Structure 1
Amino acid sequence: MTDPTLPGSEPVPNAANAPPQTLVRSPLSDGEWQRMHPLSPLLRGGLVLLVIVGVVIANLRDRLLGIVLPWLSSDFDGYQSYESSNDPIDFVIAHNLYLVAILVVFGVIALLVLGFYISWRFHTFRITQDDVEVRSGILFRTQRRAPLDRVQGVNLTRPMIARLFGLAKLEVVGAGMDSNVKLEYLSTVNAETVRADILRLASGQQLAEAAKAEGSASGSRVSALSATMSREITGLIEGPEAPVAEPESVVDIPVVRIIASHVVSPSTVFVLITVIAIVIGVSLGYTWLLLGFIPAFIGLGAYWVSSILRSLRYSIAPTPDGARITFGLLTTITETIPPGRVHALEVTQPILWRPFGWWAVKLNRLSGRSATDSTTDQFTTVLPVGTAADVEQVLRLMQPGVPEAEWSLIVREGMFGPLEHDSFTTTPKRAWWIRPLSWKRNGFRLTDDLLLLRRGVIWRNLSILPLARLQSFALHQGPFDRKSRVASAHAHVVTGPVSAHLAAVDRDAALALLADVAAGTVRAAASDHSHRWAHVDEARHAADAEARDDAEARDDVDARDDADAASDGGPGASETALPARPEEVE
């Protein structure tokens, strides 16, 4: 249950920073400092205490068994004196200090509860029209701020223990290193609503007409606040998380496919080779191999299980704020990737997946996490395993601005090429020795919006780089490249699993590509509005309106010219040069 400030007759101190009421649906997003759920300290730090208590009880199980059920303990013959054992429990028993011990235990529990309460009181957040801020700490205060115009996405995580209490945590993904802001914890319903508010505010919707009458706004906020408090109290009583409506996924991954994709993988080949080597080594008398590789097998098995559990309950669906991806069986993670936050995509297919027609899709984006964060990998997989049709559906969600005619070429030639009449520029035959297996497939294709890099035969790769997000583009040429008159192309994007490079490109084609990418990047960045995705439709409507106005003006000019020509006796009397119409340009 949060503790938002009730609006009264007095003016709100930071009303100037309050978000427009039309852009928020929760009283937690009203620009005031709010508190997390009361169980937040327990979930953030109290679980460690529970583990410690469990370890203590496990170590004292024989003693507790002898005290409570002495007839079940055959070895329990009485207590040793505390002088010989130096055991504090024996000391308490020998001096009959049960009441003192109970008081001490309850005192420690009271101090912990008081510490949790103070921690909860000092852990607050607020959402203004410009930032998401979090303050925490008792002795050492910290304050983190995520500017809304730099938000890369909002992740909603529901760990297994938190889901039992109907809670979830939000992670506002920033643009810098270690710049994420976490709201731990809110009720699942409140977390979903606040997430939508943050994305709506970050989308660029700052409406001037959002101001309403003070009485109407106050009444709606009081009503919403009452509903929120009632929902929180109900959640504390009922426990399990409330159902949250999720959009229907455009991709369905069967559980059998997820399990089979992990079994049929390069790691399986490594395991088989290792097992054969161990069997041969043990048969020759090297028994230490069996013990030496047991930890490796245990680690690999744990990785397989965690990967499979993380891929279960996968769904991806379009929303007004971008693609919504949900995955995870025990810990469920929901992340919304807004348009304009995707810096690179890569479609891959290992050779063992080829008979089944399976592919995987990963992306590069600003994660706001530190380089040492081991959980970064789970936020880069867009599609763990899917068919070619699934890949096309996912790519359409990730790049909604690509023209419809381009998708057939991207999927057909980019994933399955080279084909007859292939539109990719591939490695020349004179440089086949640089890529002896894949030189016919190795190539690039540049469109108005994307740079496509295709490579690999054993491990097929297709890198899709939006020109509007490209940081820089470089050509490299070593001594062997100069001899074969080729060069290597490197596209620089944000750090991630996507490798944006292509070797053995014809030198003249590479120089032309460098100039075309430079011009295309400037043009795409100038016309791109996806970083303010709320204005994409507005910009498109404005462009359509401008085109209609130009067409009407052109028709008016044509009508006047025809009238002038008729009055002067013929069409050749007046020759006014007009720009060619779009339908007249081939």
Structure 2
Amino acid sequence: MPASQGVPLIPDTTGTWHRVHPVSPLVRGWIALAAIAYFFGRDWFEAVFRGDEFWGLSGGRALWTVLIVAVVVLLLVAGFFLSWWYTRYQVTDDHVRVNSGVLFRQHRQARLDRVQAIDVIQPLLARIFGLAELKFEVADAGESAVRLAYLPLASAQELRATILARAAGLTSEPGHAQEPVPEAPEQQILAVPGSRIVGAALLSGTTVFLAIMLIAAGVSTFVFDAAFGPALLVPAAFGVAAGYWSTFSTGYNFRAAVSPDGIRLRYGLLETRAQTVPPGRVQAVEIMQSPLWRFKGWYRMRVNVAGYGVSTENSGARTTLLPVGTRQEVMQMLALVLPDPGTDDPFAVFTAGLDGIAATDQNDGGASDGGFVTSPRRVRWLSWLTWRRNGFAVTGTALLARSGRLWRSLAVVPHERTQSIALHQGPLGRRLRVADLRLHTTTGPVTPVVYQIDADTARRLFDEQAARAAAARRRSLPERWLEARPESTPEPSSGPEPEAAAGRPDGQYGPQQNGPPTEQESRHGGQH
């Protein structure tokens, strides 16, 4: 079982396993070495600083001290060696397999056609040794994502290319089966400058929190003559520093590119990460704008990706499609995740979703600016600030749900990614004849909800979106997105086509006097 250097990274049908880089246990377990060095070195350092003799080297204890340190180092080396020896991986035409563990053995296996995203991760120490970790997510993997650490950076990139090629359905040509798969070409779409990341951090909620703490400390000190006011700033300072550092370190050097493999995102200051999301794996997109960002015209984009699950490890950075960008950059990123917007004027529709507000003399609950259907006027007493923002629009390929007046939000869900739909109506909603419609996708930070629309409109949207989702899934790309699809006759549609819904005249979704619907829920299709 040779080490990963020089190993042909090709699908292996002979049952051969390969090992990771020999330095991998050190990169993973350096914290243990640091703890031992601190434990044994703290007293020695203090003794030297005070000019005293170190107790471990006096009174005949020097030999025992050396023996204890030697035994601990030998145990660590043995543990590192066994960890490396029992960590192996294999790539076949259909699976990626990783075996690890010494006392508690683990065998991880991922189907290539279920790979949802691949990350190439380089912590600071791994970058020093020129190593990288591969982390590939499968459908609903969550904490069970398959990790392979660590490989030389070039080998990790080649292995990523091999896995993505097999996941796409590509096969080697006759006579070239032993050749490694080359890295797919890419075209850079945008790069976020560092100055904008700094500005976004300064205009974030962290600054608002800092201002509130300063005001609270000032009031408690000068008004109530309390001595604990300045003490409040000490923990606040640590929290503010951590918030600023998290925003800057994860958004630094952010770049987005597109390739046949999918969307490629690169970012990070100390720990760099290169994400690859294959085509069709993005389940939902959310575009947000905070009040302070509105002065600069900046937005943030988050996504739900199948397989990311609810893991908290870098969840904010991994699910961020654009940390901070202009409207033009938002449109560019939307074009990557939704190549066909399903409308003749996408800029007007998405602009209305980002910044649009219905006029006060709008049709009651009918279509308004950009084709968005908003809440009826009768709900203004319940949501006096947001009733003209809350609404939805339907295109030929996606449903758009906008909400929020101060913190604006626009959720975009492709029709084929709608996994289930639910209508919710509380006591006040029944009284005002309005309902919320929730679209369920895979687990993630995006929760698409159409808030407080007319109850009859919500009921029709419920039925029509279910039909659109079923029809769109029949036309969606296969799991192996570059694999040739066999010719087949189209299936008859069981409901209205998305194009028909997209072309409805204004007011078509207006209210009808049929009474409020009861709460209901419908599940459609499987996971994608």
- Shorter-chain TM-score: which interval? 0.7 to 0.9
Contact 1:443–1:455 (Cα < 8 Å) also in 2: yes
Amino acid at match of 1:92: G
State which of 28, 35, 43 in structure 2 corresponds to 1:44: 28
Following superposition, the deviation at residue 403 of structure 1 comes to: 4.3
Following superposition, the deviation at residue 531 of structure 1 comes to: 3.3
Aligned: 1:288 with 2:228: yes
Following superposition, the deviation at residue 342 of structure 1 comes to: 0.9
Residue by residue over 1:72-101, the C-alpha shift from the partner in whole angstroms, topping out at 9 and shown as x without a partner, is x7744x67xxxxxxx5432435xxx55x75
C-alpha separation in 1, matches of 2:348 and 2:277: 25
Moved over 6 A (4+): none
Amino acid at match of 1:39: V
Following superposition, the deviation at residue 521 of structure 1 comes to: 0.5
Structure 2: segments with no counterpart, 5+ residues: 359-367, 491-503, 505-528
Following superposition, the deviation at residue 110 of structure 1 comes to: 3.7
State which of 463, 485, 496 in structure 1 corresponds to 2:411: 463
Aligned: 1:321 with 2:227: no
Residue by residue over 1:319-359, the C-alpha shift from the partner in whole angstroms, topping out at 9 and shown as x without a partner, is 11110001101100111111221111001111111121101
* Counterpart mapping for 1:340-351 below 5 A: 340-351=280-291
Aligned twin of 2:198: 259
Amino acid at match of 1:379: R
Following superposition, the deviation at residue 421 of structure 1 comes to: 4.8
Equivalent residue of 1:435, what SS? coil
Aligned: 1:493 with 2:461: no
CA change 1:59–1:247 in 2 (3 A) is: farther
Contact 1:180–1:369 (Cα < 8 Å) also in 2: no
Residue by residue over 1:255-281, the C-alpha shift from the partner in whole angstroms, topping out at 9 and shown as x without a partner, is 221111111123322321221111111
State which of 178, 188, 201 in structure 2 corresponds to 1:249: 188
C-alpha separation in 1, matches of 2:343 and 2:457: 27
Contact 2:302–2:319 (Cα < 8 Å) also in 1: yes
Following superposition, the deviation at residue 54 of structure 1 comes to: 3.9
Following superposition, the deviation at residue 380 of structure 1 comes to: 0.9
Residue by residue over 1:156-203, the C-alpha shift from the partner in whole angstroms, topping out at 9 and shown as x without a partner, is 101111101100000011223322000000011111110111111112
Give 1 or 2 for the bigger CA radius of gyration.
1
State which of 40, 54, 59 in structure 2 corresponds to 1:56: 40
Aligned twin of 1:175: 139
Aligned twin of 1:440: 388
State which of 185, 202, 213 in structure 2 corresponds to 1:274: 213
C-alpha separation in 2, matches of 1:5 and 1:162: 16
Aligned twin of 1:534: 482
Aligned: 1:89 with 2:57: yes
Following superposition, the deviation at residue 39 of structure 1 comes to: 0.4
Residue by residue over 1:475-507, the C-alpha shift from the partner in whole angstroms, topping out at 9 and shown as x without a partner, is 122232222222111111222221211222012
CA change 1:158–1:326 in 2 (3 A) is: same
Aligned twin of 2:297: 357
Aligned twin of 1:70: none
State which of 378, 399, 403 in structure 2 corresponds to 1:451: 399
* Counterpart mapping for 1:557-572 below 5 A: none
CA change 1:135–1:179 in 2 (3 A) is: same
C-alpha separation in 2, matches of 1:477 and 1:2: 62
Amino acid at match of 2:28: R
Contact 2:184–2:260 (Cα < 8 Å) also in 1: no
Aligned: 1:408 with 2:341: no
C-alpha separation in 1, matches of 2:293 and 2:101: 50
* Counterpart mapping for 1:76-225 below 5 A: 76=52, 87-92=55-60, 98=63, 102=66, 105-176=69-140, 177-205=142-170, 207=171, 210=172, 212-213=174-175
Following superposition, the deviation at residue 527 of structure 1 comes to: 0.7
State which of 465, 468, 472 in structure 2 corresponds to 1:520: 468
Following superposition, the deviation at residue 542 of structure 1 comes to: 6.6
CA change 1:133–1:442 in 2 (3 A) is: same
CA change 1:58–1:5 in 2 (3 A) is: closer
Amino acid at match of 1:189: A
CA change 1:512–1:403 in 2 (3 A) is: closer
Which is worse superposed, 116-125 or 356-365?
A: 116-125
Tell me the matched-pair count.
479
Following superposition, the deviation at residue 248 of structure 1 comes to: 4.8
Aligned: 1:424 with 2:372: yes
Amino acid at match of 2:355: F
CA change 1:438–1:370 in 2 (3 A) is: closer
C-alpha separation in 2, matches of 1:534 and 1:356: 40
Equivalent residue of 1:382, what SS? strand
CA change 1:290–1:437 in 2 (3 A) is: same
Amino acid at match of 1:120: W
Amino acid at match of 2:344: A
CA-based RMSD: 3.1
Structure 1: segments with no counterpart, 5+ residues: 7-24, 66-72, 80-86, 225-243, 548-585
Contact 2:415–2:468 (Cα < 8 Å) also in 1: yes
Which structure dedicates a bigger proportion of its chain to strand? 2
Which is worse superposed, 44-53 or 180-189?
A: 44-53
Contact 1:425–1:444 (Cα < 8 Å) also in 2: yes
Following superposition, the deviation at residue 55 of structure 1 comes to: 4.4
C-alpha separation in 2, matches of 1:75 and 1:163: 39
Amino acid at match of 2:452: A
C-alpha separation in 1, matches of 2:50 and 2:457: 86
CA change 1:46–1:512 in 2 (3 A) is: same
Contact 1:281–1:289 (Cα < 8 Å) also in 2: yes
Following superposition, the deviation at residue 428 of structure 1 comes to: 1.4
Aligned twin of 2:324: 385
State which of 343, 354, 376 in structure 1 corresponds to 2:315: 376
Following superposition, the deviation at residue 117 of structure 1 comes to: 2.0
Residue by residue over 1:435-483, the C-alpha shift from the partner in whole angstroms, topping out at 9 and shown as x without a partner, is 2122222211112211100111111110001111111111122232222
Contact 2:257–2:264 (Cα < 8 Å) also in 1: yes
Identity between Structure 1 and Structure 2 (%): 34
Q: TM-score, normalised by structure 1?
A: 0.75
Aligned twin of 1:305: 245
Aligned twin of 2:507: none
